[in-house]
Amino acid sequence: MKRKIFLFATAMIIALAAGAQSPFFKKCENVKGVTTVYVSKAMLEMAGNIGGIGLKDKTLLTEKIDNTQIVTSDNAKGREFIDKHLSMITSDKEYEVLVQINDDKENVRIYRQNIGKGKSRYVVICKEPEETTVITIEGSLSLEDVARCTKR
């Protein structure tokens, strides 16, 4: 009986660790002026079963994405908090910069980190004069898939 309990507890810990939010996301939770959204694989699978979704989008939602984390703010204090803690992502040597776009009103960067077993973590950072948004997508996605996910 003890062995079964130990195996169950170990499986639960592994499952929780696999679906855990990033340290950056956790840092931003419960900060006034910052909105955080976590979408689990189960919710993405449910969304993929809604009628009217094309096969490519359904495959993307139900098979390729493990989870999505969104952190955003449209007020000065929230943007300042996010900017202050972005180094948790940008200074990590395991992330490579894939795309960097700078123009007068918008600054966009896309980072990728290999997280093993054919999966990657993509981080899209979009800074505009009135809003900062950080989107993290984990799964077995290509860069084309990430571009489809983050289109406005």
pTM: 0.77
Measured in degrees and rounded to the nearest 5, phi and psi for residue 123 equal -125, 125
Q: What is the pLDDT of residue 91?
A: 83
Sequence spans of domains, the chain: 21-150
- Tell me which residue has tokens 């997280």: 115
Q: Which amino acid is at 52?
A: G
Q: b or e along 115-127 (b: 16 or more beta carbons within 10 Å of the residue's beta carbon)?
A: eeeeebbbbbbbb
Q: Are strands 96-102 and 65-73 parallel, antiparallel or unpaired?
A: unpaired
Helices (H), the chain: 2-18, 23-28, 41-48, 55-59, 76-85, 87-90, 143-150
Per-residue pLDDT of the chain (152 residues; tens, 9 = 90+): 334 333 333 333 333 334 457 888 999 998 999 999 998 888 877 776 666 666 666 677 677 888 989 999 999 999 999 999 998 888 878 889 988 999 888 999 999 999 888 899 999 999 999 999 999 989 988 777 777 766 64
